[in-house]
Structure 1
Amino acid sequence: MANLKRQSHSAYYTNKFIIQEILDVLPNFDKKTISIIEPSVGAGNFLPFIFRKYADKLINLTVIDIDPDILELLKLLYDNNLPSNVSIEYIHSDYMTFEHKKVDLIIGNPPFLKLSSKDSAAYRKQNYNDESTNLAEFILEKAVKSADYVSMILPKNILNTPEYHKTREFLENYDIYNILDFGEKGFKGVLVETINLAIKTFGARTKNILVKSLPRNLIVNQRKDYIFDKNLPYWVIYRNDDFDKVY
């Protein structure tokens, strides 16, 4: 039953080792109380990591999912086993239609689900990228407009395919400070290349970005104007002198 639901919602369970990689690049907050949303909570794999990361904070956490059974399972897991500094609100909803105040952090692994033109029409009306039909892209844009920080697992082709050209334009208005490249290691039993984008949505933008590849065991500190070069049709996160010789 769980596998059938996972397939129908295009939701896949995140490997724990990559969650730790994501947690390592999340922001540290100076304030005592923080608000966090997980817009497609699924199995709740992020939750214990969030509890540990922000153990010294009062956490107001909102978890959202379209599957009520998932939320009931999470309640059974956490209602009597919750750290004293954490409060959780469980929301049975489509995140795209859920209204909320701006929060400190939105984190998650949204479904990589292609919608029909008809089903995606309402989402595209409120989107900068009005050409995409991917639910993950819609959730990303809404999250960026709704939080100070966003950390989201996404299909890697968001970096380079024509469908996401407008998404890349949209994101360049914000401070993408970290890209984690998981290759095909992101999900158990699923051969899809994924990345995680960490984004700050306020204040001045940094000139550099840290790119880490788990498959290559590589960390590169790149200039944003170099890898997001507007003369190129896509982002080249591993751009180097060898690429430039060919280009």
Structure 2
Amino acid sequence: MVIKLIHYTPNTIVSIIKKHAPKKYKSILEPSVGDGSLLAPFSKNKNHKDITVTTYDIDGSALSLMKKKYKSSFKKIISNHCDFIKHHNKRNKYDLIIMNPPFSAKYNNWIKYNNERCPIEMAFLKICLTLIKPNGVIIGVFPKSIISGGTNSSISLRYKLLNEFDLKYVYELNNFEFPSIESQFYVVIIKKTSPINKTELRKNNLKLQIKKGHLLSNQFRLDYSFYKSLDLYQKLYTVDFLKHSRLSEFCEVFRGALPPPYPKKGVFHSTDFKNLNAKEEERNISTLKVNVKKIHFGDIVIKRVSRDCISSITIYPYFDMPTPTDCILVIRIKNNLLSPEQLLFTLRTYYSCNEGGFLLQKGTGANFLSIKSLRNIKLPINLHILYSRIFNNYVNSLNENRTEESNMIENNLREYLFIVVSTDNVYLDRDIIDIPLPSS
């Protein structure tokens, strides 16, 4: 599915565009103009009568509305009713490029550009990098594929931005900045001048200056929340008495191997999590005879692809050994180092939260978890011992299906740990945590 954002431009984006537009410019390119919402901040510029605007769009009616809307706002509007990627003019260069291109929400909608498949938004940006004048500015609205995508094409594009341009700012927008679109979006400010050694990442009134070396060690990711979460967890990993180990050292992690179309019986799919509280005798059990790994009683199961897969971590509580689909990740404890409840307590307390999602989840549309990132997470294998009273309350809430209570226990302990490390307190007093219970 290719999505085109044709909604009004939120005030947040308008203010960013105004702030970073060059002081002097005579030519603007908008390669997917729609109704022209991104042009609004420039139509009121005191020199707007000196500006020539070149626009492209495949929607002729939107182009007509745009020209009518801005007919007296600029010196000249050149509108091209065609596909920008196929028919852009390679000879023309521009002082300012503003863009909010369509984006490919799924891999099936990627396009072929320069002999490789890539998201359509990436093709738009690659072309615009060739059309900007020296000292010109590109201001673009992009999804996560550009900012944190893990494909070779995404990583190489970010490398190019950092090494051939001055990638000045990346603004992380709040969720639902575009009300009807759930995906995370960013506003990127690129200037065609010599590159510098750092980029500033911003969110609301917060900012981080990240040096190129730090970006290099993280695949040149450009998302503020990732680095903020990474810093938080790295501090947590250094707390001496929390005995951290990589998950792969004491657990096997694998992805279900059953591809679609999925059988109706004998499998465990992402839609089956809601049925995990049913009693064993109430379930319609059927075993699928295929030669792939099964889910065992006590395994940890996670949705691989979901809106919030990091919050789906749970224990598989039955003995029927279903076949996991390719949308399921399974964690199996080795050598009984921990019980399923101990691992669940530690996993969910550490990572079933916004910070864990920013650190581990990827994806442009739906989020997903990779086996590699899951295997490499660190966990304190003694957390249930340090906070034994809290852990015992947690197990009781699990056994009695008091989900609200178990979630509250996780949240309160996590919040306490995060506050302590963020304030550089060197000791965590396990006795001062009071876990309030939900009101009945």
Query: Measured at CA, do residues 94 and 28 of structure 1 come closer, stay the same or move farther in structure 2, by a change above 3 Å?
Result: same
Once the two structures are aligned, what percentage of the paired residues are identical?
A: 22
Q: What is the CA deviation profile of residues 141-186 of structure 1, one whole-angstrom value per residue up to 9, with x for unaligned ones?
A: 1111211321111002422221222222222221110111113233
Is the 1:51–1:86 contact (alpha carbons within 8 Å) kept by the matching residues of 2?
Answer: no
Match of 1:46 in 2: 38
Which residue number in structure 2 is paired with residue 192 of structure 1?
Answer: 183
4+ residue runs over 3 A deviation: 114-119, 240-247
1:25 equivalent to 2:13? Answer no
The aligned runs of 1:201-240 (5 Å cut-off) are: 201-202=192-193, 204-213=194-203, 217-228=204-215, 230-235=216-221, 237-238=223-224, 239=227
User: In the superposition, relative to structure 1, how do residues 74 and 117 fare at CA in structure 2: closer, same or farther (>3 Å)?
Assistant: same
- Name stretches of at least 5 consecutive residues in structure 1 with no aligned partner: 1-7
Q: In 2 relative to 1, CA 88–50 (structure 1 residues): closer, same or farther, beyond 3 Å?
A: same
| Aligned partner letter, 2:11 | F
Residue 156 of structure 2 corresponds to residue 162 of structure 1: no
1:242 shift after superposition: 3.2
Which string of whole-angstrom CA distances, capped at 9 and with x for unpartnered residues, describes residues 182-233 of structure 1? 132331211110001110123x2233333221xxx332140332542x2223
Partner SS for 2:22? coil
Partner of 2:27: 35
Larger relative contact order (CA 8 Å, sep ≥ 6): 1
CA contact (8 A) 1:63 1:91 kept: yes
Determine if contact 1:177/1:200 at 8 Å carries over to the other structure. yes
Contact 1:227 1:235 in 2 (8 A): no
Aligned counterpart, 1:171: 161
Distance 2:109 2:70 in 1: 38
Separation of aligned partners in 1, 2:222 and 2:130: 25
2:170–2:222 contact (8 Å) kept in structure 1: no
Q: Which amino acid aligns with 1:235?
A: R
Matched with 2:435 is: none
Q: What RMSD, in angstroms, separates the aligned Cα atoms of the two structures? A: 2.7
Tell whether the 8 Å contact from 1:25 to 1:178 is kept in structure 2 after alignment. no
8 Å CA contact 1:39, 1:63 repeated in 2: yes
Classify 1:50/1:159 alpha carbon distance in 2 versus 1 (closer, same or farther; 3 Å).
same
- Give the paired residue count: 223
In terms of Rg, which structure is larger? 2
Q: Which piece of structure 1 moves more, 14-23 or 146-155?
A: 14-23
Distance 1:172 1:137, change over 3 A: same
**More displaced, 231-240 or 41-50?**
231-240
Which position in structure 2 is the counterpart of 1:15?
9
2:82 corresponds to 1:93: yes
- Partners of 2:110 and 2:173 in 1: CA distance: 30
Cα deviation 1:47-89 (Å, max 9, x = unaligned): 221222x32351110111011111122233233xx13x53211
Match of 2:128 among 130, 134, 143: 143
Structure 1 residues 170 and 208, CA, compared in 2 at 3 Å: closer, same or farther? closer
Amino acid at match of 2:217: N
Structure 1 pair 119–155 and aligned structure 2 pair: CA distance change class (3 A)? closer
- Output the amino acid matched with 2:199: I
What is the TM-score of this pair, normalised by structure 1? 0.78
TM-score (norm 2): 0.46
**In structure 2, what is the Cα distance between the partners aligned to 1:74 and 1:22?**
22
